[in-house]
Amino acid sequence: MIAMSKIKVGIINITGYTGAELARLLARHPMVQICSVTGRSAIGQKVAQVFPHLSTIDLTITSDIEDAELIFSAMPHKASAETVVPLLKQGVKVIDLSADFRLKDPSKYPEWYDFVHPAPELLREAVYGLPEFYRSKILTARLIANPGCYPTGAILALAPAIKENLIASDIIIDSKSGVSGAGRTLSLATHYSEAADNVRAYSLQGHRHLPEIVQELEILASGRSFSVTFVPHVVPTTRGILTVCYATLKEGSLTKSGQLLKLYRDFYDGEPFVKITDIPPETKQTWGSNLCIIHPTIDARTGRLIIVSCLDNLVKGAAGQAIQSMNIMYQFPETTGLEALPLYP
């Protein structure tokens, strides 16, 4: 470990769910001092006034970050890029939790996010913050593009099969997310009366996370292309994403689920936050933790690969993964501050 003193970090937009989760996890991190936090809706208030459960963070919410050497940006897309670019020019390291630096092709931003990227040159520099595949690049990065919650579950689920060239080009990804994935801003769709006792599919013509998923799968496949159908759903729970991926196995590839399990266990051997299980995982088995739990199997009748993954959308799907990247950047043990086991029940 090189850095022994605490690093000073700031959180932009602590008032959102992701920002609050960053604060919760960083507050107990032994190598971090939260020195500054912003939140447009609560400027001038103490953190404890807005979030009583974060009362140990004795800071006032301001409009600008001060004195931080590393900044986590939890702003919405477009607004995050506008905020991050000046910070990078000041020499500050940034972990961006929006989608604003995830896509390498700048032409995708008008298509999927309805804005022209203000700094397309930074898209080439930004490192996609999925530690399982980009650990060495994260180590030397000054700008991390934290992956989306849906892509994290889907990519980790499919990666071993894709790297081993086991599947054909057609992939179906079916994901179900808790309501917190929509953020803290009020909307009719997340109103209690609308979301409770209800399951809803949305973005059937293409969710914004789709190009991110395709980009990373094709990188893993060394440029082979895939036809990906991604259908997200909202389910009446606060946290968690359950993803089920379907793909046809190529002729001559694996035929037994036991072989597949071994392949997945070997692939993720030594990864602290990816667990391969003998039975399908459930979202509650990941709540509050940085785990992604994966169960791969084969439908012998159809020759189809089925992979189930679960994670907490606010932790491994957002704040926890960002802290995992921070730990790598500063050469802390990768699990530091993220050792908590899932909540149950």
What residues act catalytically?
149
DSSP strand E in the chain: where? Answer: 7-12, 32-37, 70-73, 93-96, 127-128, 143-145, 167-177, 200-201, 227-234, 241-249, 274-276, 292-299, 304-311
* Whether 10 contacts 37, CB under 8 Å: yes
Rg (the chain; Cα; Å): 20
Q: How many CA atoms lie within 13 A of 57 on its CB side?
A: 33
The two three-digit tokens of residue 15, written as one number: 């008032």
What is the spatial distance between Cα 159 and Cα 165, in angstroms, rounded to a whole number?
10
| Peptide bond preceding 120 in cis form (omega within 30 of 0) | no
